[in-house]
Structure 1
Amino acid sequence: MTTRSRRESITFKHPFRLASIDRLLPAGTYDVVTDEEMIEGLSFASYRRVATMITVPCAPPHGNSMEMMSIGSLELSDAQRIDASAPNDG
C-alpha cells in the first residue's frame, strides 16, 4: 500500500485544548503530520487519511522536551475554529 505524509505548521493565538490531550496547550506554532494511504483499485490517485499527529511540549517536569501525539483531525479543526473565533486580547 502506498502511503504519504504531509507536514504543516499551525499557529494558535490562544491557549487551547484537544480532546485526546489531557492538558491545556500554550499558544504558539505546532507541527502537524498527516499520514494518508492510497485507495487501491481506482482509475485515479486518491488518498484517505489514516493518522494525524501533533508535536507538543511535554508535560511538566519535562517542559523543554517535545512529544508527538496522535489526535483526531476533527478535534484539530474544532480547536482551530475556536481559536479563530476567540476575542483578541489587547
Structure 2
Amino acid sequence: MTVRTTDTEVTFRQPFMLSAFDARQAAGTYRLVIEEEEILGLSFLAYRRTATMLHTPAISVQSGRHQVVEVDPEELTVALDADALTCRSLKE
C-alpha cells in the first residue's frame, strides 16, 4: 500500500483553540503534515486521509519543546475559516 505525505503550513492570525489542545494556541504559522494511503482496487488512483498532524509551537517560536498533535481536519478547516473571517471583519 502506497502512503503519501504532504508537508505544508497554515497561518492563524488570531489565537485559536482545537479540541486536541488543552489550551489556546498563539497566532502564527504552523507546520501541518497530512498522511494519506492509496485506496486499492479502484480503476483510478485515489487516496484516503489517515492523519492530520499539527506541529507546535508556531514555526517562529524558539522553544525547546516541540509537539506533534493529531487534529481533526474538519475542525482545523472550521478554525482557519473563522480566523479568516475575524481578520477580514477587523479590517473593515
Partner of 1:70: 70
Normalising by structure 2, we get a TM-score of 0.85
Structure 1 residue 10 and structure 2 residue 3: aligned? no
Give the letter for the 1:45 counterpart. L
Higher helix share: 2
- SS across alignment from 1:8: strand
Normalising by structure 1, we get a TM-score of 0.87
Give the letter for the 2:90 counterpart. N
Structure 1 residue 19 and structure 2 residue 19: aligned? yes
Once superposed, what is the RMSD of the aligned Cα atoms? Answer: 1.7
C-alpha separation in 2, matches of 1:51 and 1:82: 22
Gaps of 5+ in 2: none
Higher strand share: 1
Partner of 1:46: 46
Q: Offset of 1:14 from its aligned partner?
A: 0.4
Percent of aligned pairs with the same amino acid: 39
